[in-house]
Amino acid sequence: MNNLTIGFIGYGNMAQAIAQGLVDAGVMNGGQMVACAAHFDKLQKNTAALGVRPLHNPLEVVTAADVIVIAIKPYQIESVIAPLADELAKPGKLVVSIAAGWDLKKYQDLFTTEDGVSVDSLDIHIQCTIPNTPMAVGKGVLVTESVSTLTDEETATFERLFGPISLIERVDSAHMNIAMVVAGCAPAFTDMYIEALGDAGVKYGLQRATAYRLAAKMVEGVGALYMATGMHPGAMKDAVCSPGGTTIKGVAQLEKDGFRGTVIDGVDAIVG
């Protein structure tokens, strides 16, 4: 990746998480990245830690970068990105969208000219994705739309760039939203679970930092075990529950309190 420059249009928490992950994984260094944001003084502070070069506007980013990451709020895309169509269509530009609710069809509609010709389908090479913040530590998920306008070579570049810091999970366009909720919103649910376990630990005398470390490493380990074995989560749960043992008592109480149903209710509240 030494010959690539990546540019962020928008440099909020998610873009910064991606940049941090890329640098820490040795995929790119900060000097190979540029970014723009609404408030230049804040941008300068946010880019300083990694040595990312702050630029003043999206056009400068598109001009400077080979890989352009659209990382602004979804409602801003029409006004900010549509005027860049001609620049994005120039040879050698690979566009990665991380905006929720924006799939390939929506971008194609955005880039359709008055004469009905879709600039996107002809010239703009774009892949729509939804990332999550653990990409900052190389443990992310990148929900990736199964259709794109990338060439095979560009797809390989995309995977070499983001594969080291995330699971690239391809899903069809109709399921991008629910996949985003499971991978992108549920970290907040998991944070609450870790916090709750920490509170329980403190209740019974553990130091809070110790309780949080134990809970966080437990969550990481359970996920790693599933990824390594593919064992059904129910079977993994059963393997910890001995007959008449301590764990099954806690499981029974969680079932009584509607633990799994409450999680599904949380997803329903977002999707519904």
Rounded to whole angstroms, what are the CA distances from 237 to 187, 233, 252?
Answer: 20, 6, 12
Residue 37 assigned as binding residue:
no
Name every residue whose Cβ is closer than 8 Å to that of residue 176 and which is 6 or more positions away in sequence.
103, 128, 130, 143, 145
The DSSP bridge pattern shows strands 140-145 and 125-131 to be antiparallel
Residues facing 130 on adjacent strands? 143
Residues facing 70 on adjacent strands? 9, 97
Among residues 116, 51, 124, the alpha carbon closest in space to that of 86 is found at 124
Residue 14 assigned as binding residue:
yes
Residue 135 assigned as binding residue:
no
Residue 12 assigned as binding residue:
yes
Residue 45 assigned as binding residue:
no
Under 8 Å between Cβ of 261 and 272: no
Residue 243 assigned as binding residue:
no
List phi, psi (to 5°) of 151. Answer: -75, 170
CA separation for the pair 111, 103 (Å, rounded): 13
Residue 106 assigned as binding residue:
no
Residue 11 assigned as binding residue:
yes
List phi, psi (to 5°) of 139. Answer: -125, 30
Residue 72 assigned as binding residue:
yes
Q: Helix/strand/coil (H, E, C) string of 63-114?
A: HHCCEEEECCCHHHHHHHHHHHHHHHCCCCCEEEECCCCCCHHHHHHHCECC
CA separation for the pair 162, 21 (Å, rounded): 9
Residue 9 assigned as binding residue:
yes
Give the tokens for residue 171.
Answer: 């899903």
Binding residue numbers? 9-14, 71-74
Annotated binding residues for NADP(+), written as ranges, equal 9-14, 71-74
